[in-house]
Structure 1
Amino acid sequence: MDSFLHQHQEEMLHYIEELVNIDSGSYDKQGVDTIGLLLKESYKELGFNVFVEKQGVYGDHLIIEHKDAIDPNIIILAHMDTVFPRGTAAERPFRIEGNRAYGPGVIDMKASQVSVLYAIKALVNEGYEGYKRIRIVLNSDEEIGSPSSREIIEREAKGKKYALVMEPARKDGSLVSSRRGKGNYTLIIEGKAAHSGIEPEKGRSAIEELAHKIIQLHELSDHENGISVNVGLIEGGSSANTVSDHAEAQIDVRIKEIGQVELLEERLDEICSSSDVVGTKISLEGEMNRPPMEKNKKTRALLRIIQDVGDEIGVEIEDTSTGGGSDASFTSSLGIATIDGLGPIGGNAHSDQEYLVIPSLVERTLLLATIIERLSKK
């Protein structure tokens, strides 16, 4: 498979270029669906059935399985959306400088889409049949928390033994064996407006109340145990000389273990159950929308298999933990052995300096193909 992939590296890069030069932000349904149509046709050419889960607001999701599939035991997850708005691809299209390729979404995760496709092509070319044991889910809204695809991912993952998630490898090539869980909350404060010069005593400042709450919320962080609470965005008031009657805060919560959820939510409710500024009203909205991906016994066993495959093809495999979220959390929470970061190596995702390390494209695609073949026999 190695020689096949090296022979097709330029073809792979051209495909990545085509995908990168199509805007596909999470809220750009037309762009995401264009990506989906291209990938759909490529898989159909390989004898795969592609089932389209139609969406109204977000791009359509794709469920892909070979027409001769035999009780697939592996689910592969990859997303088609990026964080970039329409027009970004025109402003800074795909380009190559030295051994790196640049462009919006090049590593997160358009290179991974091509890697999955060509891993399957390599298996087919060499006469292996591991591709008959996989089910692929390509979703359109991962970058915003997978609001419409989580249910589909969990449905399609049921009964699977292994989950391979195609987020990019870390800059040093490490795979991801654990991720922190994530929650998003909105804190809304209602006060009473008044002129700050004429009758301030008649006002009830929503901003003052919010200030108290921000301090209390940040005190919930316990970084040693993997808990962080961050108020990252606030707004409120109408003018400098008006006691504010409204204020809001966006809160990001991260946890290391699923057992931390209940206690943390109790503390959030406790903080928001009473006012420090008499006369203000408080409401808290939101939820933990991604459970943590824990490095459990099953994941450790899968990691050992992948490391053995790496040794076989001459790729040293290390693993790491990260605070960022991904769809790997959903499969892991279902008790499925899950490894993430199986895409090519790159860095600076979500920025204008996002890049793919070109030599890693063939290496990691070969790794993926060999993993699929190995796991298909278990």
Structure 2
Amino acid sequence: MQQALDRAGDNRPVLEASIKAGPEDDVVYLIRRASQYDLVNLTREQLMENVTYARKVHVELPYLQGRLDDAMWREWVLPYRVLDEDLDLWRKRFHDTLMPLAAGKHTTAEVADALFDWMWGPDDNRRVKFGVSEFRTKSAAQTLEVGEGACREMNLLFVAMLRSVGIPARHCTVGWWYQIDERHFYCEYWDAQEKKWCATDASDRQGRRFSLPKAEVASGRWKPLVAYVHPAYPEERDIYGRNLWEGRESALDQLISRRTMAVQEETPAKNPVYTAYVWNSGSWRPVAVTRKSGDGARFSFADLSSTTRPVLVTACEDGKYQWGFTGIPADGDVVRLRGTGAAGRLAWPLSLEDSFKGGLR
């Protein structure tokens, strides 16, 4: 905590005053998880409003089947923003507007449906419509005021709405890399009755209560290689979602089935970073990153598209690489890493022809 306050610089008195105003545990938790940008920019008013109204919904609610577990509440309800959008005051307004919609509902899905329908509004008078995002840091409140947003902003808004009534919610990304180098944002909420995360695409009028991802994949609209959950408390700004996935929680279990592959090293490294790539349109596209000490790692890939392309796996430690290939990956495959190379040089084959020469089965 002391380190966070030291990093706040001139904003330290504001954070210290917020801690004294309390509830201390909640404010301290938020400050400890805050990014450097937030430490120097958060106001006492923002912290106090957020904690006060997040606490109002940390009670027994029929659609949550009681009171949420503290850990779940702190991770997916308490945060003062969803991603790295502009800091502003939003929670009181959302709480006061949306709690009446949740009144009388007995399941999480019923509340989520009511909020979804409210967000979109009737066809002839929509509150928010899908469109171009003119700037990527638009907050949930700003999206509602403007009445337009792209998939990132609309799902960010829906996550904020769900959290304002006490429903755990999180922002997610799916990669569309078999067509173009592009990503799509969606979200998930915790279904207290089903005891699982339920995917929803708030940028799609038909996307509520999302039994949809598998259907989207089957129809060809989604062609995912990766799908991951954005962290509740980002360490730094990443407004375009370009970051890698090391340490990210995969959301593929919520979307489609998997193929799992194990990695074996000819020369075991102590603590390598493993990266898996799939061949796509003349280049290797990274689809998973993991780190594991000892005798290798395991990767999971989306079923469907990725099972028809060769896979390259690398292990990097202290600037030295090992790599290996599979052909069309099958569940339970073992990728054996044999090649070696040095960082800054050609560490693995870059063409598909070279891949076959390198031992692609």
Do Structure 1 and Structure 2 share a fold, with TM-score over 0.5? no
TM-score (norm 1): 0.28
TM-score normalised to structure 2 length? 0.29
Per chain length, whose mean CA-contact separation is higher, i.e. which structure has more relative contact order (CA < 8 Å, sep 6+)?
A: 1
